[in-house]
Amino acid sequence: MPLYAAYGSNLDPEIMAKRAPHSPLWSTGWLAGWRLTFGGGGSEWGGALTTLVEDSGSSVFVALYDVPACDEPLLDSWEGTDNGVYSRIRVRVRTLLDGDATAWVYVLNDYEGGLPSALSLGAIADAAEKAGAPAAYVAELRGRPCASVDL
């Protein structure tokens, strides 16, 4: 089965169970040479959207899921590939127990820049914590700046 590397709210196995119910967690690992960042978005999103960019000095914690063909369209639709928000690319993931694996990730089809909403950033940090990310990684996520929201 193809592997999907989640780096945002899909890090949380409970969230993934709702979005792709036949896709079990396989492992966790790191995308070496990539950086978690934000871009695009607008007022309808409440802030910039989560994405990855290549950066030789960075790594991103990911959860790897086995995704059968029946769940791929569900996940693609959730991630917005059908309306061009995100595209899939293949990456190499380093796992602690299973060695290197090839997986796909979703990357934003827009520019890098902007701040995420506090809600989005909090959801990513919570999901990373649930997936077993190191405390320092979660703390770095929680310490990032976020967009101010007018209430």
Is 127 marked as binding a ligand?
no
Measured CA angle at 2 (ends 14, 55), to 5 deg: 85
Catalytic sites, residue numbers: 79
Contact 23, 68 (CB under 8 A): yes
Contact 41, 115 (CB under 8 A): no
Is 147 marked as binding a ligand?
no
Is 103 marked as binding a ligand?
no
Cα gap 37→121, rounded to integer Å: 11
Is 4 marked as binding a ligand?
yes
Is 106 marked as binding a ligand?
no
Binding-site positions for substrate read: 4-9
